[in-house]
Amino acid sequence: MPRPGRNTYSEQKPPYSYISLTAMAIQSCPEKMLPLSEIYKFIMDRFPYYRENTQRWQNSLRHNLSFNDCFIKIPRRPDQPGKGSFWALHPSCGDMFENGSFLRRRKRFKVMMIMAAQEHLAQSKLSDAAHYLQQQSKLRLSALAATSTHLPQISSYNLGVSQPSTFKHPFAIENIIAREYKVPGSQSVSAGYPLHNPLTAAWPHMYNTMVDSVSPISMSGDYVAYRMPLKSMCHGGQTLPAIPVPIKPTPTPVALPGVLTPHIPAFLSNSYQSQSPTSPQAATSKSSPSTPGETHTNPTVQSVVVH
DNA sequence: CCGTGTTTAGCATTGA
DNA sequence: TCAATGCTAAACACGG
């Protein structure tokens, strides 16, 4: 794997797949969701390599957004003009790169399964959550317009600027690039979830519990020192999810005994096992040509990721 | 018109 | 070797 320069990859192609690049961009913003144009901008700002042949890689990137289940589309609200939707990471996609390579995932993230009557309850709050995210986005974009659209450089780029917490998602640019060159002076970096993250206000009973259940792992000293193998980062660290708002039809529920239970990701496990039955768990899925009639309005749907 | 999103196809690379 | 994954190209539809 090529070693990047200290602050830039210059003309060299970064050793990251489009999936990881996109995930970085999404994770870099406080709302955990970005329009396509912002994703483009993030990548071009960070990696000069991608300032050329834009048509080529942007086409590939769009392909990845549509094709991979780890990305979910969040529609704009009617009062929020603009082209395209927002893109977010699926709540359970944080451990895709277990093998430590950002060029190749250990397995493709795939939303397969649907079940549970929880979805019915989740649906009741889904619109509110989506509304909230949209509002956050709106505020952010307004702020960008009011100040500057220029993204800060790596050395100063910190989610904490606009977010009280110093939480770093495995896909966060700091985490990914810091594996290659340490951030000077970064002795202590909290890996806990943002206690003041807006989402906790939206779904407090869900996200607050996630914080409690996950932080003991994420606060690892190795992680803090940027020495933890990425495998551990991705597996132990949890994705701070954007609220998945299904746009596409949901595949027909198919029971796969023996697949579900052993591999329920921590995110889902938490919501399943340590949450009250009323815990909202938004579900989404890429459309399936074989199931054009199914929609997310099915009250029995629940997404489960199978690795 | 252009940006966005979806889909299909082919090829290369990687890991089991 | 084969399947999974990633990259690229291309066609097409849709909407601002």
Q: Kindly tell me the sign of the dihedral angle through the C-alpha atoms of A98, A162, A158, A16.
A: positive
* pLDDT tens digits, A232-274: 333 333 333 334 444 444 444 433 333 333 333 333 333 333 3
Mean of all residue pLDDT scores within chain A? 53
Q: Is the CB of A17 under 7 A from strand C?
A: yes
Helical axes A36-46 vs A18-28, angle rounded to 10°: 100
pLDDT at A155: 33
pLDDT at A40: 93
Confidence of residue A35 (pLDDT cuts 50, 70, 90): very high
A101-106 LR contacts (CB < 8 Å, sep 24+): A101/A1, A102/A15, A102/A16, A102/A17, A102/A20, A102/A176, A103/A1, A103/A15, A103/A16, A103/A17, A103/A20, A104/A17, A105/A17, A105/A19, A106/A307
Closest by CA to A198, choosing from A152, A134, A148, A245, is: A134
> Smallest Cα–C1' distance to nucleotide C3: which residue has it?
A107
pLDDT higher than 50, residue A76: yes
Which nucleotides in chain C lie closer than 7 A to a protein CB?
4-11, 15-16
Q: Which nucleotide is nearest to A101 (CA to C1')?
A: B14
Listed ranges A36-50, A99-113, A186-200, A251-265; the one with the highest mean pLDDT? A36-50
A105-109 LR contacts (CB < 8 Å, sep 24+): A105/A17, A105/A19, A106/A307, A107/A307, A108/A68, A108/A69, A109/A68, A109/A69, A109/A70, A109/A305, A109/A307
> Smallest Cα–C1' distance to nucleotide B16: which residue has it?
A106
Listed ranges A165-179, A234-248, A274-288; the one with the highest mean pLDDT? A165-179
| Strand B surroundings (CB within 7 A) | A 35-37, 40, 58-59, 62-63, 65-67, 73, 83-85, 87, 99, 101, 103-104, 247-248, 286-287, 289
Listed ranges A71-75, A132-136, A232-236, A292-296; the one with the highest mean pLDDT? A71-75
pLDDT higher than 90, residue A65: yes
pLDDT at A90: 82
In the DSSP assignment, the letter for residue A231 is: H
Q: Is the CB of A196 under 7 A from strand C?
A: no
* Residue type for position A123: Q
pLDDT at A68: 87
Q: Which nucleotide is nearest to A65 (CA to C1')?
A: B5
Q: Round to a whole number and report the distance in Å from the CA of A14 to the C1' of C7.
A: 14
Q: pLDDT > 90: what percent of chain A?
A: 11
Q: Which nucleotide is nearest to A84 (CA to C1')?
A: B4
**What's the pTM?**
0.56
Which nucleotides in chain B lie closer than 7 A to a protein CB?
3-9, 14-16
Confidence of residue A108 (pLDDT cuts 50, 70, 90): low
Q: Is the CB of A105 under 7 A from strand C?
A: yes
Q: pLDDT > 70: what percent of chain A?
A: 26
